[in-house]
Amino acid sequence: MNKTTIRSNILKQRKYLNKKQIILLSKKIVNNIIHSELYKQAKHIAIYLPFNGEVDLTDLLKIKNKYHYLPSIQAEQMQFQLYTPELLIKKHQFGIMQPAYINSLEKTPLDLCLMPLVSFDMMGNRLGMGGGFYDRYFESHNNNEISNNQTQLAGVGYRFQQHQQLPTQSWDVKINHLYTESGYLKI
């Protein structure tokens, strides 16, 4: 199967989740994240605001002594902005909620990025919505001299989103870690 077919099939399955199921599964996943050593050791953590049935990570924003960042996209670019309760969040043309894009914002050194996904496999391949924003950002970010450590990339999704083996392209950035309602897995 190609990426388009896999994406379509998984999104149909995700659409059948009701609000109560999303809340319950999201709480389990957030609990798995909070109790993992990966999250405990990270200080600067990128998350996302949920869209179209994605796992809801917003409870992480209540955790003290961590710096959480939200993605913002414009054209082909993506950036991460530090979350504060005062941060203005608006609906993007794609329907996702995000902070207003800041042209002069420098790249943020992140310890951990919790990435949304449509599908994943056990080889660390991630299928997103098809825009390639995370692939472009982390392909250049993790090869940049911003810090001595690369950002740990963790996919976040529901167990049913697992696929046997996803088709890949050379520009696809792999995830190192995975969180589902079943737990945490280092890939």
Over residues 93-129, the pLDDT tens digits come to 888 999 999 999 988 899 999 999 999 999 999 999 9
What confidence tens digit (pLDDT) does each residue in 14-67 have?
999 999 999 999 999 999 999 999 999 999 999 999 999 999 999 999 999 999
Q: What is the CATH topology of the domain spanning 3-115+127-180?
A: Rossmann fold (3.40.50)
What is the DSSP pairing of strand 177-180 with strand 183-186?
antiparallel
Q: Which residues contact 170 (CB under 8 A, 6 or more apart)?
A: none
- DSSP letters, 89-116, are EEE-TTS-EEEPP-TTPPPPP-SEEEEE
Strand partners, 79: 72
* Spacing of C-alpha 143 from chain mean position: 19
What confidence tens digit (pLDDT) does each residue in 59-86 have?
999 999 999 999 999 999 999 999 999 9
Are 51 and 95 in contact, with CB atoms under 8 Å apart? yes
Residue spans of the domains in the chain: they are 3-115+127-180
This prediction has a pTM of 0.92
Residue written as token pair 């203005």? 88
